[in-house]
Structure 1
Amino acid sequence: MRQIITRRAGVLPAPDPVLLADAALAPDDAHDRFAAQVPALNAVEHRPAEEMWPVGPQLRVAAWNAERLKYHAPSAALLRATGADVVLLTEADIGMARSGNRHTVRDLAEALGMGWAYGVEFVELGLGDARECEWHADEDNRCGLHGNAILSRHKLLDPVVIPLDAGGTWFAGRSGNQRRLGGRMAMAARLDAPRPLWLVAAHLESHSDAADRARQGERLVAAIDRLVPAGAGVVLGGDFNTKEALGSLEAPEEPLFAVLRDAGFDWHRCNAPGPTQRTRPDGTPVPPFAKLDWLFTRHADAEAPATIAAVDETGAAISDHDVVAATVLTGLAVERQQTASIEA
């Protein structure tokens, strides 16, 4: 199993294009040799906001699988409208032809007035999935990075990447023609706040089954327990690919939920019922839809959950996942009341 990644960089280096070309043609058992030669797979890109806000008694948290984050202006408008202080972001590109060869996380964070911590999940050795290969056949990737991020208007401390598998699944042809270096992961960071609060953005495997997702959940919980002091608050969110969860909050048909429940996480107060998938303009995916995207809290209360349609001003989908959001109560209001009572 890969180790937690703690090394930080202001900017992740672009992989060597010759190395990536060689990796694309290498045998299936060569993954680890090539992945070890890509520094971006072993660091966190961490950039603070120009103006950082103090954490208050309430924190609006949104989690969104932005599906490459291809649509900059509509994505910024969507997240701005949620009122989010923190965004747990999955599926964001850096230097991919399919998303305009932009640094999509930087562009979004700057538009929202936020800082960010970004980790690479995959280095793409091609243009993407079958649709993207067709749409961008005459283009090239500048970097080929694809990963997850935490965006915040508050200061982020101690950002790390938590690997959720051994890596190499997508390199060995499990997903058809979309060959990649890397593996599933979660981003974690601590908010600079008087009461400890950790944020985790997770993305579980899509080409998998419920038992494997539960195993990834166990690895995630074990890493969180290593990183987070006992009693500290945790907000966990992202795309859990829970294909057997059709929208009910009471008894989702996935063993992953038993893993998280036994680890002290709650999902009832921070999620609205119903599916979170959406059909894209190309007509995929099609119903029936599942609830893939979730928020979970531990040692932190939540309220006002919502699922927000990921569409632009014309109603066209900008991702095949909707946004999930909730208000997390940081406990600062109670703490201040107690302090005021003592001083009185």
Structure 2
Amino acid sequence: MDRARDLNAAGAKLTPPYPPIVVNRPARHAGPRLRVVLLNAAGGKKFREIVKCLERPALQGADLILLCEVNAGMRPSAGRDVAVEMAAMLGMSCAYVREFGVTNPRGEVVGYMGNAMLSAVPFDDVTAIAMHNPRTPRMLRRQRRWSRVGTPTGIVTRMKFGGGELTVGLAHLHSRCAPAQRARQMATYLESFPAAGRAVFGGDLNTTTTELSNRSQMLATAWQMIANPGRFRAPQAYEPLFDNLREHGLEIEGVNVANRPTFTFSGLIPLSMRPKLDWLAVRELRPIAGTAAVVTPRSPILQRRVSDHDFVTVDLEL
């Protein structure tokens, strides 16, 4: 995809292209509950507005913030290291894992795309997890003056919340491949995720229920949005990656708002036709009733969306 380095060729070992970047700060969490917030930050070019959104009641005081699509050194985000700067503004620890290095026409890396976690307590360790990289047909690749070097990469980390150890994971899965390929990505990721103990996992899992690798498939999906819109708000039966999560003891019930979409590519699309792409899952943790929510990422000042994805949040008992 975008001339990304193919780390999935026969005989190639899946290894992360870049090491994690970790900035730890003193712990500030001391409550009986854990507030988790997830957002695809759309690069993070509006990261100051995202921080303002985090002052809203359902999101305020988040203890753990999971961010997909976070840039560092990229022009759309004014060359800023978005995750590190957001963490500094919030007084939180930060773990950033770069998936792709963005290169200019001379082949020089001029910025990065990746995923990040912000935490109210320091990270004990952070591991980058390389995942299967489905190929994208050339006809659907955007024409750009730059290319990417790397591979999809998730995060697994450990920290101490509520006096005990907690495993936290984050992944961003492919948006255009078939559901079976996303399940393969998830299976690869979970090989490095502990099989027992308290855990939180989240990410933009791109659960579109379809393959979008050519124009005919995209047209077929558009028809399904009209004929059977419910499948996009409740994709579990169409996406085998949920079986992977369940087999690993990770449950989605109670930590996600059922049948509530989390993505819009246009405000003109009716809510009933929008897909649910962003998910949280937990193990050996109990969600507090009534706290699971989907929050529109709209700045209270500008009243404009700061991302095409919504915030997903829940409070957990510790």
What TM-score does the superposition give when structure 2 sets the normalisation length?
A: 0.78
Structure 1 match to 2:198: 233
Alignment of 1:242 onto 2:227: no
RMSD: 3.0
Which residue, out of 158, 172, 189, partners 1:190? 158
Structure 1 match to 2:304: 316
Alignment of 1:78 onto 2:53: yes
Equivalent residues in 2 for 1:257-276 (5 A)?
Answer: 257-273=242-258, 274-276=260-262
Distance 2:76 2:233 in 1: 31
Structure 2 match to 1:151: 118
Equivalent residues in 2 for 1:88-107 (5 A)?
Answer: 88-107=66-85
Distance 2:303 2:29 in 1: 35
Q: Assess, with a 3 A threshold, how the Cα gap between structure 1 residues 62 and 324 changes in structure 2: closer, same or farther.
A: same
* 1:249-284 Cα shifts (integer Å, max 9, x gaps): 8x4421111221122111111001211013468x89
Alignment of 1:123 onto 2:101: yes
Distance 1:288 1:175 in 2: 25
Residue 151 of structure 2 aligns to which amino acid in structure 1? G
Structure 1 match to 2:177: 208
* 1:15-52 Cα shifts (integer Å, max 9, x gaps): xxxxxxxxx9xxx69756xxxxxxx9321100012x32
Q: Assess, with a 3 A threshold, how the Cα gap between structure 1 residues 42 and 198 changes in structure 2: closer, same or farther.
A: same
Q: Secondary structure in 2 aligned to 1:105?
A: helix
Residue 171 of structure 2 aligns to which amino acid in structure 1? A
Equivalent residues in 2 for 1:171-190 (5 A)?
Answer: 175-177=141-143, 179-190=147-158
Q: Secondary structure in 1 aligned to 2:69?
A: strand
Residue 17 of structure 2 aligns to which amino acid in structure 1? L
Structure 1 match to 2:189: 220
Where in structure 1 are there 5+ consecutive unaligned residues? 1-23, 33-39, 128-140, 331-344
Residue 316 of structure 1 aligns to which amino acid in structure 2? R
**What displacement does 1:315 show?**
2.4
Structure 2 match to 1:14: none
Distance 2:270 2:99 in 1: 23
Alignment of 1:278 onto 2:264: yes
Contact conserved, 1:307 with 1:324, CA < 8 A, in 2? yes
Distance 1:186 1:123 in 2: 15
Distance 2:73 2:49 in 1: 19
Distance 1:55 1:235 in 2: 18
Distance 1:284 1:237 in 2: 25
Q: Assess, with a 3 A threshold, how the Cα gap between structure 1 residues 211 and 168 changes in structure 2: closer, same or farther.
A: closer
Contact conserved, 2:18 with 2:99, CA < 8 A, in 1? no
Residue 278 of structure 1 aligns to which amino acid in structure 2? T
Q: Secondary structure in 2 aligned to 1:320?
A: coil
Equivalent residues in 2 for 1:6-21 (5 A)?
Answer: none
Contact conserved, 2:4 with 2:150, CA < 8 A, in 1? no
Residue 38 of structure 2 aligns to which amino acid in structure 1? A
Q: Assess, with a 3 A threshold, how the Cα gap between structure 1 residues 305 and 195 changes in structure 2: closer, same or farther.
A: same
Provide the aligned length of Structure 1 versus Structure 2: 278
Q: Secondary structure in 1 aligned to 2:233?
A: coil
Residue 205 of structure 1 aligns to which amino acid in structure 2? H
Structure 2 match to 1:327: 315
Distance 1:112 1:275 in 2: 28
Distance 2:299 2:275 in 1: 22
Alignment of 1:45 onto 2:21: yes
Contact conserved, 1:80 with 1:112, CA < 8 A, in 2? no
Contact conserved, 2:152 with 2:172, CA < 8 A, in 1? yes
Contact conserved, 1:186 with 1:203, CA < 8 A, in 2? yes
**What displacement does 1:173 show?**
7.9
Q: Secondary structure in 2 aligned to 1:241?
A: coil
Moved over 4 A (4+): 28-32, 167-174, 283-287
**What displacement does 1:108 show?**
0.9
Structure 1 match to 2:34: 59
Q: Which has the higher helix share?
A: 1
